[in-house]
Structure 1
Amino acid sequence: MKLTIWLVPFFLAIAPAAQIQAINNDVYTVQGVTAEREAVIRRQIQAMQPRVLPYRIRFVPHWQYLYAAKVYQLHVPTGMGSKMFTHLPTRSVFVDADRYDGQEWLGHWLAHELGHLATNSASEEDAERAALEYRKRLQKLRTSSAERKTLVGSR
């Protein structure tokens, strides 16, 4: 009986915090990158407007990436390589920092990883379907940025 009496206030106290966490879905950390690269990542994710954001995006050295892939039992389809993966239970995206290949590469594959989160599925096909819309939005950002650079350059 005493346990029940203490559990009720406990759950009543936790409910508002859980609701705030559900509402504030725009908080995520980017680890292991420079401030400039973090700004690029945040701008790309903002342009993609994903339904579900990761809790963290971690750029790690190659050896640590391999270790994380082993610990999380990453299954890479035959014939494919892996430079980035999403761990769905923790909503974490791991990026092999040693294999980083530029902003466009990052945006393309980050859309794919956000597709895994949006569909809550490890299926590559499901992730790609969701990523198509994100890539279209990202392309609009690139197009508008290119137009602004052209306008500024012509002045």
Structure 2
Amino acid sequence: MLLVLTVGCALTAGVIRCEYRKYLIPEQTYYIYSPGYPHNFTSAVQCRWIVTSPPGFVARVNCSQIVLDDSPSCSTDRLLISNQGDPLLMMANPYCGRRSVTEVSIGRRMAISLISTRNTPGGRVLCEATPEKENIFHRSSLAELGFQPWIQS
């Protein structure tokens, strides 16, 4: 049984809020984009996307267009990506400014959030999410981060 659930956007107290959940299907692309895309959003935004790949797959998210305010520590407008799939985005990577980025999930799920403040200069985001076959020989691991517990110093 295939379940695809998508919930839309709402405007509450001057903030655009959206929540989307998508089950990714092999060889299909799911687009993630800011409200009003291809135009810039011009008000506060709080949107979240949760994408889940089928068993044996990981999620790849390629954001080809990130056009956001470039503030110190991405404190105003930011795109948050959790490659661990954490819906609370506690350990998510923050992105802002003008750039592109690609992230691959550690498990089957990835969480993405676009957050902007009320006094935002506006911006836009375009990403593509696709499932790709999990490569068990190239998983993110502590060894790739430089920690090698089998080597004693």
| TM-score bracket for this pair, using the shorter chain length | under 0.3
Structure of greater relative contact order (alpha carbons < 8 Å, 6+ residues apart): 2
Max Rg structure: 1
TM-score (norm 2): 0.23
Structure whose residues are more often helix by fraction: 1
Structure whose residues are more often strand by fraction: 2
